[in-house]
Amino acid sequence: MHPSSSDKPAAEKISFLLDGEIIEINDVDPTRTVLQYLREDLRRTGTKEGCAEGDCGACTVVVAELDHDGESVRVRAVNSCIQFLATLDGKELITVESLRGKDGSLHPVQKAMVDCHGSQCGFCTPGFVMSLLALYKNNASPTRLDVDDALAGNLCRCTGYRPIVDAALAMYDESSQRDASDDWLLGAKGTNTEKPLQEKISKLKSIRRTNNLAIKQAGRRLSSPRSVAELADLIQAKPDSTLLAGGTDVGLWVTKRHRELDEIIYLGNVAELRNISVSATHIEIGAAATLSDVMPVLVEHFPALQELFVRFASPPIRNAGTLGGNIANASPIGDSMPALLALDTVLVLREGQQQRELPLDEYYVGYQATALQPGEFLEKIRVPLPASSSGLQTYKVSKRFDQDISAICAAFCIGLDGDEIVTARVAYGGLAAIPKRAKQCEQMLLGKAFERATIDAAINVLDADFQPIDDMRASAEYRMQVCRNLLLRFYLESTGAETERVYGYNRA
Ligand SMILES: Cc1cc2nc3c(=O)[nH]c(=O)nc-3n(C[C@H](O)[C@H](O)[C@H](O)COP(=O)(O)OP(=O)(O)OC[C@H]3O[C@@H](n4cnc5c(N)ncnc54)[C@H](O)[C@@H]3O)c2cc1C
Ligand code: FES
Ligand code: FES
């Protein structure tokens, strides 16, 4: 057995940076959120609580951490209401209060918000400012669509979004800048002077942990292993533990369902689980790689995923949430699964030293139930690279364009030899109790010509594949109708009969 955390003296305090100072907290409650800490412990009440479930963005903060190379810093907006405080260990927390200059002056993001009248009651404003700060630090010249995406997780009830979008575009103007070249937060991407960046990196290195974090408070425990071997041992020893990746599902169990999580194992510090690599045959994704890291790699190989990913939650959720968490959570309406099923994805599951491969198609065994055995966890996701003759298309149908859960999500991957359909994978979310392939429909397509009569015949057997769920999001009848329509739409778009996508970036 690998020397596990239980053999080592437990490190019981977490350390993170706030306004340049190292903060150390002993025995933090494992499920205390960053928002609770800010508002109740520090009385830093600039950060607001609206929904406590990652939807409104009022609680947005920015987290900076050393990048994989350990020599650069990545900056991401996250929802503090569902982020557990212990996950800040080794990182920097930046709140709206951090933006004030030593002389009280406004940060360029704040100045632009004032100048463009981007605030009325002000409740949403700190959250918008923090989302804009993340944009400012990551993108030197955003397009209108980049701005829309950066703000997709922030709701305003008063101002309307136009002045806020104006502020996003004005924050780079000369007139918005203030003079403080030693302040790292002031440099937009590409304009950092070396000195403040290097200071930031060395401070983050000084609090970087190399051993397992193990905290215990109020009868609850949280372990944060550093290696897959250590993680595997911990899970084997305590198979009933809650695995915490980005917490964008688990966080809500605490804030909304008031569940007590007595034993938590945090995956976010296992470097191997955050790796993404591309070989000649497949893309291999560590289960704890964030959606923000995974999406560009998948889109490079499967451009059809672009729209689906832009519509997957919001940047703060994608910055924390992981692909592994989306798969493991086993929601029938998870957005990544239909596409991954259509791509014939294989999961690498691990228990102790043993690994096994399982097609994603065999992973879901019932409503929110998976083939994972006690002590086993999802280690990697392998997405085969496509044959050049096969085309993937995905569709998300939801009531809102941004930040909404799907009523139906569909993915089609059809391989052609000339006109003949030689491979067919058709998958839907939101129809059955699990994300599922439409195997009878696929059989109807295989070996036939890719033409309207074949598609009509395949549409007719979809009823045999699914008995749709019926809930407040959509009726069973509606779901089934949309299911049929999407297959037809895929055919029409693929054959050029209808080429204009609704999104198609024509919102710019
Ligand atoms: C506001 C909001 C909007 C959202 N919008 C969308 C959306 O548009 N589309 C969508 O599909 N989802 C959406 N979600 C759901 C959520 O963001 C995703 O499911 C996300 O991918 C979960 O990843 P996570 O890392 O946060 O998982 P966590 O919350 O950390 O974990 C989720 C589950 O997976 C388990 N788990 C995590 N990693 C592993 C592993 N390696 N092995 C075994 N079990 C594991 C956990 O124990 C838990 O049961 C939204 C959530 C919120 C709060
Ligand atoms: S309080 Fe609404 S997203 Fe956090
Ligand atoms: S200014 Fe009032 S909610 Fe946005």
225-276 pLDDT, tens digit each: 999 999 999 999 999 999 999 999 999 999 999 999 999 999 999 999 999 9
CB neighbours of 192 closer than 8 A, spacing ≥ 6? 184
Closest approach atom of ligand 2 to CA 55: 3
Which ligand sits closest to the CA of 333?
1
- Phi and psi at 10, nearest 5°, equal -75, 135
Which ligand sits closest to the CA of 47?
2
Q: Does ligand 2 lie within 6 Å of residue 56's CB atom?
A: yes
Which ligand sits closest to the CA of 121?
3
Report pLDDT digits (tens) over 371-419. 999 999 999 999 999 766 568 999 999 888 888 888 899 999 999 999 9
CA of 114 to the centre of ligand 3 (A): 13
33-83+91-206: CATH number: 1.10.150.120
The answer to whether 340 touches 346, Cβ cutoff 8 Å, is: no
Pocket test for ligand 1, best of 33, 56, 228, 326 (most atoms within 8 A of CB): 326
Q: Given this model, what pLDDT does residue 2 score?
A: 45
Nearest CA to ligand 1 atom 39: 325
Nearest CA to ligand 2 atom 3: 54
- Which stretches within 346-475 are classed as H helix? 439-445, 452-465
Tell me the fold of 1-23+210-270: 3.30.43
Report pLDDT digits (tens) over 104-127. 889 999 999 999 999 999 999 999
Closest approach atom of ligand 1 to CA 153: 1
Which ranges in the chain are annotated with CATH 1.10.150.120?
33-83+91-206
Rounded Cα–Cα distance for residues 426 and 284 (Å): 22
Cα 72–Cα 80–Cα 126 angle in degrees, nearest 5: 90
* Whether the predicted model's global pTM rises above the 0.75 cut: yes
Q: Does ligand 2 lie within 6 Å of residue 110's CB atom?
A: no
Tell me the fold of 275-494: Enolase-like; domain 1 (3.30.390)
Q: Does ligand 1 lie within 6 Å of residue 248's CB atom?
A: yes
Rounded Cα–Cα distance for residues 380 and 284 (Å): 7
- List of the chain residues with pLDDT < 70: 1-11, 179-181, 192-193, 387-390, 497-508
Which ranges in the chain are annotated with CATH 3.30.390.50?
275-494
Exposed/middle/buried for 220, CB within 10 Å: 0-12, 13-18, 19+? Answer: middle
The answer to whether 109 touches 133, Cβ cutoff 8 Å, is: yes
